[in-house]
Structure 1
């Protein structure tokens, strides 16, 4: 089953990000699937689960545990609804797209062996590499978001808490990611979740909670992961990205609101100083997806009576399909780019 439906037709409001989404039994998604796959929820098994999930999202199917859906992989060229997408340029230093102290910088994040160590359930061959830090923080971010109960700040923890940046908008400032690029990332992480047997109900619960926190421009600042300082989390920053439908302010301080158009609507420069060529097909497709998302989100909000007041979700919240709700997994994955500012 491919994750190719429109990714932003989710309910027009979300739960406040006060903690990882839990099941009705108060068992978190991480704990639930750690127990299902490994019969344990200790730090070692939860770290193993998140390693397999993230590595599969990055490079495609490789683990015998994840054969329930085909995954192309974020680092591989793919398509979203017929539009070709390549995200490798954001990882391999081809673009000046990394925010280093407010400067657009070209950084190679595949300096720890690339795909080879990922296929061996590792983050990288070299623990001093940028790749190791990036991928390790991806594991931690997903774990925190999905409620891994055994994550800890202890020095000897088998699965450490998230240690990356908590302002996703600041991290993505120079990437100028558009709707199609976000959608492809979301598609691949969604397929990775499918491949390990994540259920529709679980994906829906997470998707309704977090999609709007990451995939709209000029959304209000929130605390995520829970307990961190309020900061902007918007990651879709190109001018084609939809504006936050519950009220937005694109002129607020960047630390509190997203950069309204990424690098002022300009693509990141190539590492050699030249500007990357604009992909007119991708741009047109992005605009179409954004327009569709605005319409669908408005309809969803009006039909369900969702509300942001009190950080809650009104009765009658939209029950979104799997293909829409898995958007959160991609949002979290994109959010984990937050490590780029602390490498």
Structure 2
């Protein structure tokens, strides 16, 4: 069986000005998103940010106070879950323990009154897609966590939903299995061409398999973009700190024009190009790999050089991570490890070199 045996045309998902509260708790705050047909999209954020609530709203298990959900141009906001043409894989998988794999996958089709011959065709196609045809006669307790997860996916895609919803489907797996299964999910989604929405608090999961990500916090969409866009150009400090390690230097702008400088806490100051648009209360952002360390007086070129001191040093195998004091602030610097290359010891005075192209000013 091929993916075309159960594939359905990809559709868009539009969330328009959605608000949702539980009593006095405003969980979703004017959320608007446009998810493209066939896209693997993630809701990413910490626990309690509203991402699962938003996913359940799309599925029909939650009801918005205001706003609407539109799938493929059709407003489904008032429809019950079974009429929305969406399929949801729950965090717990929700498999029937007394049923075989085949019976679990067939269950939703039987509930919909699908003819027996069509049920057999779809079950076979779904199990073939997730590589479990040979385990169709087993029960969930006889399967590994990764296999149970694939059964849950097979059961969902067998009903041929227009949109696939995944609620932290990898959280019950060990680290090695998570890597394997997330690759399988991405491969399956691409073969089906199915619009898929994935909820996770794990940035690595979202970065490796999703086309775009909506970063959420406190019920608000902070930023939407590709993993690289979010990492390289975060919209605010929350996004910067949530996606990877971010170095933040606080300070203030002094002077103006060609005499404009950024003065850090601790008294260190450096010039800022007159044409640079820097807010008065800006913070300077750069990533650990965007910096380099040298002995004072050895650098050249147009990179920014700041006096610093090594506060800590960690060997990570392929790289060295240094904790470096710049004035009163400690920042992280990652440098490739090479045999024979100088390793800076704690207490060493160094120059922290930053490429001006890698710097970002955040208005705080």
**Class of the TM-score when normalised by the shorter of the 2 chains:** under 0.3
Q: Which has the higher helix share?
A: 1
Q: What TM-score does the superposition give when structure 1 sets the normalisation length?
A: 0.23
Structure number with larger C-alpha Rg:
2
Pick 1 or 2: higher relative contact order, CA cutoff 8 A, min separation 6: 1
Q: TM-score, normalised by structure 2?
A: 0.22
Structure richer in strand, relative to its length: 2
